Structure formats: C-alpha cells, structure tokens
C-alpha cells in the first residue's frame, strides 16, 4: 500500500485533556517492571477518557504500585473500590490484570507540567479528594439531574372479573331470593 505524503497530518493530534472529572474505561491493564529491579512490578493502566455525553478526551496512563507510602495505599484502595471489586484480605496486583479491562470508573485528572524535555500530560490527580469514583456516582459527580419519581401508594390487586354461568345464575337467584328469575321480554 502506498502512503500519500500529502494526506499525512501536520500536527500530532495529541491534546492534553483539561483538568477535571471523566468517565474512564480501562482499556489495558498489565504488569510492568520498572528500571529499579529492587522494587516490585507495578500495574500499568491505559484509560480512555470521555465526558458523560460520550465525547472523547483522549487517553491517559496510570500506575498502581505496591508501596508503603500512605498516599499510594489510599490510591490503590480508591481504585479497587471505584472498580467495585469485592476484595478482602490479601491479594497481588497481578490478580487484577485479568478483571480490569472493560471496567469503567470516574477519575479526577490534572495536568502535569512539562519537564526534562517531555511535554505536559494529563494524569490522575492523586492529591484530589477522592481520585477515583464508581460509575454509579456519575449523576452526582457530573451534576446530572435525576428525574424524581413520586412514590405511589400500593394498591390492592384488582380482582379478576367473575365468570358467571347463566344456568348457575338462575339457580342462585332462586336460592337467594326465593323467586324465579325474570325472563327477558321479547321485543319485536
């Protein structure tokens, strides 16, 4: 296949998402080993960001690691709770790799300034109050009004209409009222 140079883009198309809250779809979750081999592998995530109406705001990468630092422990806990993964007790980060792709959460982002020759980039705002939230909090976090429903009183079930057999009705009329049923008049 030939490549038409004139059709190649003149800009990278890379845009840093504005600071804020986004729906984040976990597209990739994989374990990676950092340059320091003395540290355990970390969980590397690729998150696709959208706003509530589905408009894309690009992708960011996030790292979840084992650490003794309180802020990193807090981040890990918030991430697991946002993904609504029922974990108790001990687990390994590698156990999450299989169940994370496809999970959707809400993430707070910030912009990390350019440094060491690298451009600025969008990152998870680890210092935000909650960092991650479950998707079920979407209306609350994005200020989407919910339709209030007025509770209704429970009503007694409507009884099914009784089926009456004409022959039985005549017999019942005689028994109850002690009279013969009235014959319909012949109208000509």
Q: pLDDT digits over 3-36, tens only?
A: 999 988 887 767 899 999 999 999 999 999 999 9
Structural domain contains residue 131: yes
- Reported pTM: 0.71
**Can you give the pLDDT at residue 162?**
53
Q: pLDDT digits over 71-81, tens only?
A: 999 999 999 99
Structural domain contains residue 172: no
What single-letter DSSP state applies at residue 115? B
Q: d(Cα 23, Cα 143) in Å, to the nearest integer?
A: 14
Q: d(Cα 177, Cα 140) in Å, to the nearest integer?
A: 67
Structural domain contains residue 176: no
Structural domain contains residue 115: yes
The structure tokens 């883009």 sit at: 9
The total number of structural domains that make up the chain: 1
What single-letter DSSP state applies at residue 21? E
**Can you give the pLDDT at residue 101?**
97
Q: What is the extent of the structural domain holding 63?
A: 15-142
Write the CB contacts of 105 (distance below 8 Å, at least 6 apart in sequence).
23, 24, 26, 79, 82, 83, 132, 133, 134, 135
Structural domain contains residue 181: no
Cα–Cα distance list, 187 to 50, 184 (Å): 77, 9
Structural domain contains residue 178: no
pLDDT at 38 over 80: yes
């Amino acid at each position: 296949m030939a490549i038409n140079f004139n059709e190649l883009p003149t800009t990278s198309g890379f845009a840093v998402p504005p600071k804020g809250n986004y729906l984040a779809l976990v597209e990739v979750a994989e374990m990676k080993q950092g340059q320091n081999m003395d540290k355990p592998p970390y969980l590397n995530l690729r998150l696709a960001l959208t706003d509530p109406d589905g408009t894309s705001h690009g992708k960011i990468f996030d790292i979840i690691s084992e650490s003794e630092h309180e802020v990193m422990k807090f981040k890990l806990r918030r991430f697991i709770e946002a993904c609504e993964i029922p974990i108790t007790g001990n687990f390994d980060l590698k156990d999450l790799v299989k169940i994370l792709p496809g999970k959707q959460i809400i993430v707070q982002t910030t912009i990390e300034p350019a440094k060491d020759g690298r451009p600025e980039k969008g990152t998870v705002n680890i210092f935000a109050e909650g960092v991650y939230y479950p998707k079920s909090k979407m209306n609350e976090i994005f200020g989407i009004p919910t339709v209030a429903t007025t509770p209704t009183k429970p009503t007694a079930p409507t009884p099914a209409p009784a089926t009456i057999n004409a022959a039985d009705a005549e017999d019942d009329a005689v028994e109850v009222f002690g009279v013969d049923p009235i014959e319909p008049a012949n109208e000509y």
